Amino acid sequence: MRKFLIRRILLFVPVLLGTLTIAFSIIHLIPGDPVDIILGENALPADKDALRKALKLDLPLHRQYITFLSGLFKGDLGYSIYTKQPVIRTVMERYPATIELALASIIFSVLFSFPLGIVAAIYKDRWPDHITRFFSLTGLCMPNFFLAPILIIIFSIELGLLPVSGTGGIQNIILPSITLGFGMSSILTRMIRSSLYEVLNDDYIRGAKAKGVDNFSILLKHALPNALIPVITILAMQFGSLLAGSIITETIFSWPGIGRLVIQSIYARDYPLLQGCLIFISLSYQFINLILDLLYAFIDPRIRYEKGVL
């Protein structure tokens, strides 16, 4: 187990370095001189030089890279050009809202997909299965920018039950988390259905049935835990992508998350801020992946001992 842990954590380093390098190169990949684009054409040459210096663009490329990395390890991501605030502070202010929404969406999709997936697996190819299939397909096909206004019109405008947008209490998070969670739960429902159906036809389930174990216990104790591995993978991947923020959902619901910050920094051509957002997003994604791999090893002991699983 320890060997597995060390290998997994060591692998984290090159991936991390790769993402940081990509984040670093953004400012060099944009067309035109970034300083000109940021300051506009009536900027004074002295101000352009000052910004070039502040962004360390006057140094040779390798020195820029080293300064960037060393700044990063000190927790210094520079200053936003647009708001003149430290990037790290701006990102940290928005990130809790994104985590909050991601967790709520995951909880919604789990609560929605587990019962549906289990029912669909038990009644495969009968009418409950067809109904869940209809829900899944609807969820998969419906884009957020379409679903969100419909939810708002029904629940906020017509029924007057929930607020249209903004943050505040539980009532504010319901509609955005349904919007984000609905599509995810469709995938999960299908995943649970197929994985559970496969397990339910295994020999050991037949054995349990022969032993006289009641159906409920077979489902919850024997079948479901074994059907969970692919489900957890999907869940974790979706959680990772939720942590990158959802630009559309956050915009529609005026949710102050990282997705909106990314879009704002692109529109404002605020490259240090964009860089900071990307670093944060990729770090959290990788962190989730790391946790997931460790969780696999915990759930399924075979993974720890097999060679080449990484």
Q: Which residues sit at the interface with other proteins, rule CB under 8 A? A: 30-33, 36-37, 39-44, 46-47, 50-51, 54, 82-84, 90, 93-94, 96-97, 100, 103-104, 107, 149, 152-153, 156-157, 163-170, 172-173, 251-254, 256, 260-261, 264, 267-269
Nearer to other proteins by Cβ, of 132 and 265: the residue is: 265
CB 251 → other proteins: shortest distance, Å?
5
Nearer to other proteins by Cβ, of 94 and 190: the residue is: 94
- How many whole angstroms separate alpha carbon 188 and alpha carbon 184? 6
Nearer to other proteins by Cβ, of 42 and 62: the residue is: 42
CB 3 → other proteins: shortest distance, Å?
27
Nearer to other proteins by Cβ, of 20 and 227: the residue is: 227
CB 104 → other proteins: shortest distance, Å?
6
Nearer to other proteins by Cβ, of 16 and 228: the residue is: 228
Nearer to other proteins by Cβ, of 190 and 296: the residue is: 296
- In the structure encoding, which two tokens stand for residue 70, read together? 């060393």
- How many whole angstroms separate alpha carbon 158 and alpha carbon 134? 25
CB 14 → other proteins: shortest distance, Å?
31
CB 4 → other proteins: shortest distance, Å?
23
CB 165 → other proteins: shortest distance, Å?
5
